[in-house]
Structure 1
């Protein structure tokens, strides 16, 4: 099915959803987001100060956003897809433009993030950059005499049952790089098929495909796994605080970069609470909280400086926004999205 065909079908489904008996509760924000992006440590205070009730549904993959928005089990107000999925949300008419004049610290966002192509359509801005980082690898240092250095180590038969990779279509990117196909966002059908084959060969070695930070942390804590890919700075930091000896590394085949974006779901009547939430998330309160909870880099360096030591600021590359340019930053797959997603789903269904 072509992207245009999907667009019309998805738009029709969304129209049916919005005209059905399911409705937003005014003053209640329903979020479809990642772990930590609606943490009680700061959301409780937000609710007290604004009177806006926050409900969060967590995703484990960017592939969850479109299906959940159209499933009919509830209506969301704000979502946080990553940069490779934002264009799809716009093309499927699932989100509406945001008024950047209503976001007090918009101009404090890194200029290269404000200028991202995948959050724009014409003169309209559809997303607020929030947090960013890299997808790298990590391992338990007490499990290796010779440290792993390559994506290929995730295919080491000696580690059978001791590895894990993210349950996400980006596993196709991972396998493609392992195969030497580095143009990962524009793979041919043959290259996608080769990546799928590599993942099918790897599958008997995999203990579990992880979906959330908490799940991956638990797999390491229990000793079930010793090597995985990971969101840089996130799970390793949590595990180190738990006394688990961990090391992160960028494999020799390079690392992907990501940016998570707040977007407003089309037709939400809760724009007042939504803008209050967006402002809180971009302020020092939200930026410092997500950096501390998920140990991510953030979009607003002015806010970051209020809570980070100079050493931590540099560690998270907040002093060097061009760091993202050195990564293989996620891109929209356009009409190739389905080919990637289908290949990954086929691996899991094997």
Structure 2
């Protein structure tokens, strides 16, 4: 089983692997690394009769890329009964979505009394010099600018004009990492930004003066889950693992700890927490899911534009 390390893996073991998989006598051998290493490993093994990985965790975008390259099993949903509870807009035939979030507006309520309701607030001149931008999420900022500028998730050209306007009029402060953006909120250098809803919830939980507000244009989604490589040796155990990820109690516990919304409709968690981290039915209807084919084709030139024109 290949997954991220750190708290992500610790929570996976605590809520899923130990109580629902290893308790059944299945030994899990963990390969903890980053997505590029996982992808390289699977691509290298796709020509072999049998591979070394039975389950691999990925973001939805990387899972899409691997499926396009013929690496992933097309899932037999009869072997994943809990998949029936996955929200329809999150499904893919090669991927079990687990948790997700959306890029929502982040604001300091001390300086912004009313929750902002539109992405247009990122261009509000009242906040010039107090706008924080996360560099590593450049593609999300391109998507948001496109939505604010009359484009769409598969027509982002209007976003480049909006970002040029942002650079010119808002004097945005660009931060390399989530931690640095959180610190900027904490010391009041930043009053408004946008980030994953789970990150904002974590910051607020840790005492950072920040709140989340859902934009009327919709939130760009980020989703994590797991896959079975075609060359997996132990597919029966892999299917048990994937079904366990979606167990109502396990997923409720994981979502409670991580602050990411569950991909299923029946995860067990308190009503208060669900209200804090999940999306309402009306919000779910406006979630903006990336077109991963379009993104994969254009990401290189988007990053080049961002580095040269927005950051430069």
TM-score, normalised via structure 2 length:
0.74
State the match for 2:85 in structure 1. 108
Post-superposition offset of 1:197:
4.0
1:26-41 maps to which residues of 2 (within 5 A)?
Answer: 29-31=1-3, 36=8, 39=11, 40-41=13-14
Runs of 4+ residues over 6 Å off in structure 1: none
Deviation per residue, 1:278-311 (Å, 9 max, x gap):
1221113431122102223223333x2xx32345
- Provide the aligned C-alpha RMSD in A: 4.0
Q: Secondary structure at the match of 1:131?
A: strand
CA 1:281–1:37 in structure 2 vs 1: closer, same or farther (change >3 Å)? farther
For residues 132-166 of structure 1, give each alpha carbon's deviation from its aligned partner in whole angstroms, at most 9, with x where no partner exists: 33221112223446765543444567553751336
* 2:120 equivalent to 1:160: no
For residues 242-271 of structure 1, the C-alpha deviation after alignment (integer angstroms, 9 at most, x for no partner) is: 233322112354432444342223423353
Matched, 1:171 2:131: no
Q: How far apart in 1 are the matches of 2:41 and 2:173?
A: 27
Task: Could you tell me which runs of 5 or more consecutive residues in structure 2 were left unpaired when the two chains were aligned.
Answer: 46-50
Q: Do the aligned partners of residues 170 and 145 (structure 1) sit closer, same or farther apart at CA in structure 2, a change above 3 Å counting?
A: closer
Matched, 1:338 2:284: no
> Aligned-pair distance for 1:95?
1.7
Give me the whole-angstrom Cα distance separating, in 2, the residues matched to 1:226 and 1:254.
21
What does the per-residue CA deviation read over 1:218-265, in whole Å, with 9 as the maximum and x for residues that have no partner? 554465543221222x22332232233322112354432444342223
Per the TM alignment, residue 97 of structure 1 is displaced from its structure 2 partner at its CA by 1.7
Structure 2 residue aligned with 1:227, among 189, 192, 210? 192
Alignment match, 2:48:
none
In 2, Cα distance between the equivalents of 1:174 and 1:65? 29
User: What is the aligned partner in structure 1 of residue 29 from structure 2?
Assistant: 53
Counterpart in 2 of 1:11?
A: none
Cα 1:159–1:146, aligned 2, differ >3 Å: closer, same or farther? farther
Distance change (3 Å), C-alpha of 1:113 and 1:241: same
The answer to whether residue 287 in structure 2 is matched with residue 327 in structure 1 is: yes
2:56 to 59, 75, 78: 78
CA distance in structure 1 between the partners assigned to 2:304 and 2:169 by the alignment: 15
User: Are residues 267 and 34 of structure 1, via their aligned partners in 2, closer, same or farther at CA, if it must alter by over 3 Å?
Assistant: farther
Distance 2:174 2:56 in 1: 34
Alignment gaps of 5+ in structure 1? 1-28, 120-124
| CA separation of 1:297 and 1:182: change in aligned 2, threshold 3 A | same
1:206 paired with 2:170, answer no
Inter-CA distance 195–58: structure 2 relative to 1 (3 Å threshold): farther
